Amino acid sequence: MVTAQDLPDFNNVQKAAERLKKYVHRTPILTAQGLDRICGAQLYFKCENFQKVGAFKIRGATNAVFDLPEEMLTAGVATHSSGNHAAALALAARWRNCTAYVVMPRTAPQVKINAVQSYGAQVTFCEPTLEAREQELTKVISRTGAEVIHPYNDARVIAGQGTVALELLTELPDLDAVLVPVGGGGLLSGTALTVRGLKKKCQVIGVEPQNADDAHRSFYAGRIIPSDNPQTIADGLRTSLGTLTFAIIRDKVDDILTVTEESIIDAMRLIWERLKIVAEPSACVPLAVLLEGRSRVAASKIGIILSGGNVDLDRLPWLKDKV
């Protein structure tokens, strides 16, 4: 059972922001008039694709690794991840001179596997199911004694991810809504802590693929209903909510919407074409909801957390039929 003491609060987000200053980028916020016209709203993209390791995940991982007492560093840190958290933990561990052990699904994009290995982490591969990942991680821990830094169901990680919204709302205090991609829920729950902590009249809305809609179903059922090996192009959003992230999301998030694979691809192409940036499919899920229907989000000044930019440039989804 999760109790209030297990959960991070806004104070933890503020402390994380202070701690992260030296290590992570304060990422830019981009706009494009053409996209505003298409969506009928003012859109502000918080570009975590420009973040270290190419994704917001460095924030949570760094906050967790720097939270460890000195005597725990020798055994190292460990995690399972579809990619961005793995790279993030590897880099954060290197900053603190400790070893990172990473369990990755065999199906992770090659570019993400390369990144993790380039930061000096020790990688073990497994089947692409939550069960296989957790089993393999258990083996690694019993061998090494490393501290597990879960990719999202970890209070230190959630607090770190909340710093994205803190930067966004500091720069743009009057947003009506923030749209956040939701996989395991670390970014969404961190964002909710921040927006509620700042006492903003600003909706916090999670968006996920229809094909991996565990957060939507869990939110409305009032209990965690995990997805089993969901198939979506948004490879960062295949994971299901954890106990901590669900507890925060149920309490502080306004809604969770879902989008089709087609909309995600349309949104991705549009972001590349209009913002001139490289964004991974998971990062494009929030824009997809606006493309599906302006009325789905009752807001006129909308922050969009563009979560990352690690994409295999040899396999762009809009070229699928041609390759």
Q: Give the footprint of its own copies on this chain (CB under 8 A).
A: 28, 30, 49-50, 54, 111, 269, 272-273, 276-279, 309, 313-314, 316, 318-319, 322-323
Q: How far is the CB of 272 from its own copies (least distance, A)?
A: 5
* Choice between 221 and 313, CB closer to its own copies: 313
> 55 - beta bridge partners?
308
How far, in Å, CA of 75 to CA of 93, rounded? Answer: 11
* Choice between 137 and 306, CB closer to its own copies: 306
Which phi and psi angles does 168 have, rounded to 5°? -60, -45
* Choice between 72 and 111, CB closer to its own copies: 111
How far, in Å, CA of 113 to CA of 121, rounded? Answer: 10
How far, in Å, CA of 273 to CA of 37, rounded? Answer: 15
Place of tokens 């309490």: 251
Alpha carbon of 22 to those of 16, 59, 92, 160, 235: distances in Å? 11, 11, 12, 14, 29
* Choice between 113 and 257, CB closer to its own copies: 113
Place of tokens 């299901």: 240
How far, in Å, CA of 273 to CA of 269, rounded? Answer: 6
Going through 108-235 in order, the beta strands assigned E by DSSP cover: 122-126, 147-148, 177-181, 203-209
Q: How far is the CB of 227 from its own copies (least distance, A)?
A: 28
Place of tokens 């925060």: 248
Q: How far is the CB of 187 from its own copies (least distance, A)?
A: 18
* Choice between 125 and 272, CB closer to its own copies: 272
Q: How far is the CB of 117 from its own copies (least distance, A)?
A: 14
CA proximity to 102, closest of 110, 94, 117, 92: 117
Q: How far is the CB of 50 from its own copies (least distance, A)?
A: 6
Q: How far is the CB of 66 from its own copies (least distance, A)?
A: 20
* Choice between 131 and 273, CB closer to its own copies: 273
